[in-house]
Structures are given as structure tokens and as C-alpha cells.
A and B are shown apart, each in its own frame.
Chain A
Amino acid sequence: MADHTIDHNTLPPNPEKATLEGRNKFMGFWFFLGGETVLFASLFGTYLGLRGGTVDGPGPSELFHLPFVFLMTMILLTSSLTSVFAIISMKRGNYKGLLAWMTVTVLLGVAFLGLEIYEFVEYVDHGLGFTTSAFGSAFYTLVGTHGAHVAFGIAWITTLIIRYRKSGLTLTNAPKFYTAVLYWHFIDVVWVFIFSIVYLMGIGG
């Protein structure tokens, strides 16, 4: 660290670790993600235990529609890539690029959330309510918790964009954008297991 000179006018190569406060928050955020992993593990375990309990309600193979889930997956995966572009823009010192790619990420997130709400409404119309069966409760809790995380991510990134729309790139806001993007990638990590375990296993197993 000591062998290169510090340019006071340029963002350091690893802004999330450039200040003591940033380093602490960065590590704390990963601690939080470790905890989130366990939270989702408990919901996945519950779902896997209860998914056969459909009683008189509709089951996974009657409800799930693979092309629709594939579309949702592609939207979320692409939003993960646009948030990568945002961080690359930031590290290049292109603040406008950062804000633009973050906005694209939020819009894709909103599209994903819209599709998920549409999906839930559709399932309720097909007779699967939250209290219809053990499968229904476990499904809505697991996928709904993920959806709530998407909603929180959208609110978080939108807040950052509005708060820092005019400030330019600073040592204060760069780690904040970096952390928000880490959270956004984590949402995609969870979704990979949801589409595999809930939807694909629901159709194929």
C-alpha cells in the first residue's frame, strides 16, 4: 500500500476499503450477507420439507410456468450485469455512467418485481392462497421474502441516486454504491437457488 503515491483527486482503486469506516462497513456487510444466507437456508429447508403438502389446493406442476420464470431470471441476471457496469464506470471516474447504469439496474429490478406480483396474483386466482396449504405458506414465505429483498434493494439504490445526483463522485459515496451493488448481486445469488429448487424441481421432480 505504501509503495504508490496517493492522488488526492482520483478515486482509489478499491474505494470500499480506502477509509477505516469503509473497511469496517465492508466487512460488516459481508457478515450480514452470511446471516442472510442462514435466513434463506431456513426458508428453503421449510419449503423442501412442506412442498408435498398441497392438501386440496393446486400443486407446483399445475401452477408454475417455465417460460415466465425464465423471463424473470433473465431480467434479474441482466440487472446484475448492469450493476457491474455501474461499478466499472465508477472506478473509471465516470460518475454520470455510474448513475445511468444504476438507474437501468433499478428499472430492471422494478420489472422483475412487477412480474413477481403479477405471478402471485395469478396463483391466488388459481386457488393458491397463503393459508390454502403447507406448500402455499412455504412458497409465498420463501419467494415473498426474496421479493421483499428486491423491493428493499430498489429503494436503497433509488435513495442513493437521488441523494447523490449532484454531488459528483466522492470518497463518501463511492463505498455506498459499491455496497448496494454487492447486495444486488446477493439477491441474484438467492434467486439462482429459488429458480432451481422451487420452480425447476417443482416441474421436474
Chain B
Amino acid sequence: MAQHGMDPSAPLTGEPSKKTKRKLARELRTQIISFILMIFLTSLAFVSIASDAIPASFALPFILLLAVIQVILQLYVFMHLNERGNGWPNAMIWSGVLIAIPTVAALMLLLGVVKW
């Protein structure tokens, strides 16, 4: 919490504590590892479509699964949803997803896609 009387526009020039620095170093490592994973997932998705190595009937669920994993990484690691005290942001985004899924399904059905 900001202390009473603190000027929010005063430049903060202090160094973070040793503990914070260690935590940041760990955080950076996690972020870089998940970035490498995202590159891998993306490449896998493109290769699986470009090479015809995977039968078409399996390719669609496969690339969708890869997309979901990558998005979870993006949300929980890059956007810090995994941190403690982020219960409300989690509630907000998952409410969005909860509405989004029937929205996609309903629009597809309404527009006549009944066979997948």
C-alpha cells in the first residue's frame, strides 16, 4: 500500500532488495523457458500442417490442443495469472472464456456448420 503523504510522481531511483532481485532472476528464467516452449509449440503446429505427416482428421484437434497449451502459458506465465493474489483477474478472464465457448458453438450452428 502507498503510504500517506507519498508523492506518486516522485522518481523511484532505489535498487530492489537482494530478495526481490533473486525472485526477478528466477522469474526471468521461467519466462525465457516458456518462450522457448511457445516457439516449439508454434513450429510444431506449422510443421504438422505443412508436412502432411499427421492425417488431416487428427491435425485439427492437434493444432487446437497446441494453441490452448500456448495460450495457457501466455496467460499464466507472461501475464502472471499464476501469481498469488490474482484471483479476480482469473475470475474475469475465465468468465470471458465461459461465454466465448458457447458463442463460437452457437454461431457455427446458426450458420449451418452441423458436421465437423
A169: B residues at CB distance < 8 A: 11-13
CA distance A111 to B39 in the complex (A): 19
Partner of A189, one of B24, B48, B75: B75
Interface size class of B (residues with CB under 8 A): 35 or more
Which 5 pairs from chain A and chain B are nearest by CB?
A49-B111, A45-B107, A34-B96, A168-B11, A41-B100
Option from B1, B6, B21, B96 in Cβ contact (under 8 Å) with A1: B1
Q: Give, as a whole number of angstroms, the nearest-CB distance from A174 to chain B.
A: 8
Asked if A10 meets B97 with Cβ closer than 8 Å, knowing A42-B107, A205-B59, the reply is: no
A48 at the interface (CB under 8 A from B): yes
Question: What class of interface size applies to chain A in its complex with B?
Answer: 35 or more
With beta carbons under 8 angstroms apart, the residue of B2, B24, B56, B106 that contacts A45 is B106
Query: Closest Cβ of chain B: how far from A204's Cβ, in Å?
Result: 4
Binary interface encoding of chain B residues 3-40 relative to chain A, with 1 for a CB under 8 A from any of its CBs, else 0: 10010111111111100110110011001100100110
Query: Assuming A33-B92, A84-B78, is B45 touching A171 (CB within 8 A)?
Result: no
Enumerate chain A residues within 8 angstroms of B15, measured Cβ to Cβ.
10, 93
**Among A113-121, A124-132, A192-200, which stretch is in contact with chain B?**
A192-200
Contact of B2 among A19, A26, A92 (CB under 8 A): A19
Known: A9-B12, A33-B96. 13 other contacts (CB 8 A): A11-B14, A34-B96, A37-B96, A41-B99, A41-B100, A45-B108, A74-B42, A80-B74, A93-B12, A172-B8, A174-B12, A186-B79, A196-B63
